[in-house]
Amino acid sequence: MSVLTIALSKGRIFDETLPLLAAADIVPAHDAQGSRKLILETNRAGVRIVLVRATDVPTYVQYGGADLGIAGKDVLSEHGGEGLYQPLDLGIARCRMMVAVRAGFDYDAALRRGARIKVATKYLAAAREHFAAKGMHVDLIKLYGSMELAPLVGLADAIVDLVSTGSTLAANHLVAVEEVASISARLVVNQAALKLKHDVLQPLLAAIERAAGKAAPVRPRGRGGKRFRS
């Protein structure tokens, strides 16, 4: 029997995915959050979960280290989507990718002047595409976290970051000025696994889709599957 491996990241993706997996009759055999285990067996003999960094989920799935995985659109657009089939938007882990500036920084005036602004972000691909589409010239500065700090110490004029409640921005005297993308978590499948493990994958995808309450079509055998655009 072939084993099906599902890549998840700890935290909100894991928490919000558990009910969807439960609806597909997949339940981790032990508590994940407290454990240091990286491989979780489940109630189903042929199904296991691997815990990886959120940004590594697409890489595991692309190269077959996992057959399927769940990752935010933010992560997928940076990865580029190569080797991945994306059948489902699960509608979980929702937030918005926004441009934010220091309170008092006149973003619109900078735009009107055609000023070249410095933008700090961990989302280089998404930011590059966003500002290019607006015809803006920006200097992008790659950071790996705590983007909110950059405008406060003069490293950048603006940041591109994920925002849900806005309280982190507010606590750092930043204001969101523009949406780059609306973000949610997507299920991605390794393209080879989609064919080779179709019999196990198909019912699982269907059950997850039902549980996610989404109408997005699952067309695992077809060629018309959505590929990401970064």
Residues lying near ligand ATP in the complex (CB under 6 A): 9, 11-13, 54-55, 72, 74-75, 93-95, 145, 162, 164, 183, 185
Nearer to ligand ATP by Cβ, of 75 and 205: the residue is 75
Shortest CB 165 distance to ligand ATP, Å:
7
Shortest CB 38 distance to ligand ATP, Å:
15
C-alpha 66/C-alpha 5 separation (Å) is 5
3-state SS track over 106-139: CHHHHHHHCCCEEEEECCHHHHHHHHHHCCCCEE
Nearer to ligand ATP by Cβ, of 121 and 197: the residue is 121
3-state SS track over 8-51: ECCCHHHHHHHHHHHHCCCCECCCCCCCCCCEEEECCCCEEEEE
Q: What are phi and psi of 175, to 5 degrees?
A: -130, 140
Nearer to ligand ATP by Cβ, of 48 and 122: the residue is 122
Q: Which residues contact 66 (CB under 8 A, 6 or more apart)?
A: 5, 6, 7, 50, 52, 57, 60, 190
Shortest CB 16 distance to ligand ATP, Å:
9
Q: Containing H/E element for 86?
A: strand 84-89
Shortest CB 169 distance to ligand ATP, Å:
11
Which residue is closest to ligand ATP by CB? 72
Nearer to ligand ATP by Cβ, of 20 and 95: the residue is 95
Nearer to ligand ATP by Cβ, of 13 and 20: the residue is 13
Shortest CB 76 distance to ligand ATP, Å:
9
